[in-house]
Amino acid sequence: MSANHAVSPLAPKTTPTLPRIAGVKLGVARSGVRYKDRDDVLLAVVPAGATIAGVLTKSKTCSAPVDWCRKNLARGKVRAIVVNAGNANAFTGKVGDKAVEETTRSIAQALGCPRNEVFMASTGVIGQPLDWEKIAAVVPALIKSGKEDAWPAAAAAIMTTDTFPKLATRQAKIGERTVTVNGFLKGSGMIAPDMATMLGFCFTDAKIPGPVLQKLLSDAADKSLNCVTVDGDTSTSDTLLMVATGAARHAPIEEADDPVLVDFKRALDEVLIELAQLLARDGEGATKFVTINVTGASSNGAARKIGLAVANSPLVKTAIAGEDANWGRIVMAVGKSGERADRDKLRISIGGVRITDQGQVVPNYDEAPVAQHIKGSDVVIDIDLGIGRGRATVWTCDLTHGYIDINGSYRS
């Protein structure tokens, strides 16, 4: 749990128990890179022959670990992933590259594997050199502590301003074989992913070649982690990595559109959507979880862009925080999105209550049920553009004074 903040009121009541995935060992340790008296480094060790895929931030000021992952993902091979919290190792120049080089070298030597099969992700403060020697010092402890059931500890070790660990699991059939998809991530602020999420990690025992896994992950991230926003700010460190160990004995898979993968795609989608929603539920200072359903847009991409324009509007988010049914702000946000919209076809509903039609408020509109809905912790906004078949769902949270409190003192 985060040191400074009470658990989000939107946190789920229970944390799922993730099953073991044979050969995936998770170890955590206290390096003291920034935090004291808590685990702040994670090492996931996976069996030789495992494949990896990833989606990374499109930020032009990305971190050194993102550069390292991008360089090595194309090979599709992995033996370990190391993650540290408290320092993003972003905007740290050559010193940042050296920190990645030395950290991955210390792990590769300990495991006896090539350095380019050790992936790295970092989260925390931007612009401060990462003391890699502190991480290298705990590598033996990380390896020794590795367990197949340490999912909760792994999810907790990578948190920064998060107030609860975020985990999800599903099972799927590939042919006659049952496979597992486990995932966990961290993120609470600086969330407007431009590919994936803050830091997210998925593991499966399915046997899927690297290029196929890449296509599956990119498609799944597009409808989950690319549809969530807390504050409209895209991180320098966004990294989503997925490992397939290949332990499950199902028929070989060669193409992403192989019909045998239909159930697996469902499971992966569900894991990433659940994790994306947990990001919004742990938005910094959040008191309300907001779902925005957009239909009738000119394309799915347009629908998502309109949904994000509404979700990122400080005026919409503060109205929801103040429990003010100010639907005019939604009209504003749709209009500024840059996507096709027809004022006279736009229909807006909140909590299932229709508010607008034919370019104006509906006759005899009663605000009372809408105001009541906004007082709850789960708010649903439906927007129908009425011009096409494009649709998307976007998740966000309200914008409260708590967000300012957390980010006004983040470095201190």
Binding site listing for substrate: 160, 186, 197, 284, 407, 412
For residue 245, what are its two tokens? Answer: 């160990």
Residue 8 CB coordination number (10 Å): 24
Q: Are 323 and 290 in contact (CB under 8 A)?
A: no
Q: Phi, psi (5° rounding) for residue 121?
A: -140, 145
Burial of residue 300 (number of CB atoms within 10 Å: 0-12, 13-18, 19+)? middle
Catalytic-role residue among 197, 204, 234, 239: 197
Give the separation between CA 344 and CA 380, rounded to whole angstroms. 22
Q: Are 57 and 237 in contact (CB under 8 A)?
A: yes
Taking the C-alpha atoms of 59, 28, 53 and 23 in order, what is their torsion angle to the nearest 10 degrees? 180
The sign of the dihedral angle between the CA atoms of 148, 153, 158, 161 is positive
Give catalytic status of residue 197 as yes or no.
yes
For residue 179, what are its two tokens? Answer: 């496979």
Q: Where are the alpha helices (DSSP H) in 49-189?
A: 64-73, 93-111, 132-137, 139-144, 151-157
Q: Are 185 and 279 in contact (CB under 8 A)?
A: yes
Q: Give the residues across from 147 on adjacent strands.
A: 26
The sign of the dihedral angle between the CA atoms of 26, 30, 35, 41 is negative
Feature table: binding site? 160, 186, 197, 284, 407, 412
Nearest to 148 by CA among 197, 182, 187: 182
Residues that are catalytic: 197
